[in-house]
Amino acid sequence: MAHIRWVFLLLIVLTVPASAADVVYPQGSRVGLVPPPGLRASTEFPGFEDRQKNVAILLSALPAGAFAEIEKSDSAESLKKQGATLEKRESLTLPAGKALLVIGNRDVEGAPLHTWLLVVAQPDLTLLVTVRIPESAREAYPDDAIRAAFTTIALRAEVPVTEQLGLLPFKVSDLAGFKVGGVLAGRAVILTDTATDPADKTVEPHIIVALAPGAPSEASARDDFAREVFGSIPNLKDVRITASESQRIGGQAGHEIMATAKEPTTDADITIVQWLRFGGGGYLHLVGVAATAGWTQAYARFRSVRDGIEPK
């Protein structure tokens, strides 16, 4: 699956609650916290916001090694590059783990903006919590309230599938036995079989479904367009297109490309299908990949997923 994971940028943050009943999880996030009064979970990004006062808390995740790099970096110099000045840097021990807090200030359109960057070390990732508070909102969101929120960072075991799929701009009514491997909110989902043995290098069937803007309005240009889109799929080796044709998909104009290739890390034979479904000034892009030896069964499942995609 390495060659299609580029589509996703997973937004995850970890927390350990002071009172689990009060923890709020932004939609699609495994991580939540008890937000300061006045902040609510955002529908635009993983975090919390007070739109009236322009206050936001953003939750994100970095690779595990990022904490050590940030810890040894020069915070003042890093903030200077962003047009900000360092106010304070301190090490913390939170319920969530070892943490580093950097507080800086900068002017945005002539108004002071206070930024808190909290970095928390975890075995498999680094948590990043960013707090942005304009000077005009400091009274409503005092330092003590922000620090109290940091102590409530909490993790749930998993994000419910229905909640993950709710982040998409289309409905997926048939998973065809696949599990959700990742979601890019507002854009794409990857569906895959779960590996039973992490050391197993077998290519598992997986399919990406993404909504993309722009597409040719003329039917005569769609074959070239589909080939161009197919050519943007990275990390394929010895690719050979075996079929490329227009077809109706879900009652709309569509296009199918079939191809064979090699999995670049193992040289295993794989087969690929790409479907484009045109409409609404954009197109639905589906790419299914499976080992050639198990292609017949995988293709049937890919079709079930494709035929179960509905607009919202």
- Tell whether the model's pLDDT for residue 16 goes beyond 50: no
Is residue 13 very low, low, confident or very high in pLDDT (cuts 50, 70, 90)? very low
Q: Is the dihedral of CA 77, 82, 87, 93 positive or negative?
A: negative
Is residue 6 very low, low, confident or very high in pLDDT (cuts 50, 70, 90)? very low
Distance between CA 122 and CA 93 in Å, rounded?
12
Let me know: does 253 contact 222? Beta carbons within 8 Å: yes
- Tell whether the model's pLDDT for residue 177 goes beyond 80: yes
Domain 2-155 has CATH 1.10.150.130: no
Model confidence pLDDT, tens digit, residues 255-306:
999 999 999 888 999 999 999 999 878 899 999 999 999 999 999 999 999 9
Can you name the residues that pair with 189 across neighbouring β-strands? 183, 209
Is residue 20 very low, low, confident or very high in pLDDT (cuts 50, 70, 90)? very low
CATH number of 161-311: 3.40.1000.10
Is residue 89 very low, low, confident or very high in pLDDT (cuts 50, 70, 90)? very high
pLDDT on residue 218: 87
DSSP tag of 79? H
Q: Where are the domains of the chain?
A: 2-155, 161-311
Distance between CA 181 and CA 208 in Å, rounded?
10
Can you name the residues that pair with 269 across neighbouring β-strands? 262
Is residue 82 very low, low, confident or very high in pLDDT (cuts 50, 70, 90)? confident
Helix intervals (H) in the chain: 66-71, 75-81, 143-150, 161-165, 222-231, 295-307
The pTM of the full predicted model, rounded to 2 decimals, is 0.67
Give 164-171's long-range contacts (Cβ < 8 A, gap of 24+): 164/28, 164/189, 165/189, 166/27, 166/28, 167/27, 167/28, 168/211, 168/312, 169/211, 169/312, 170/209, 170/211, 170/284, 170/309, 170/310, 170/311, 170/312, 171/309, 171/310, 171/311, 171/312
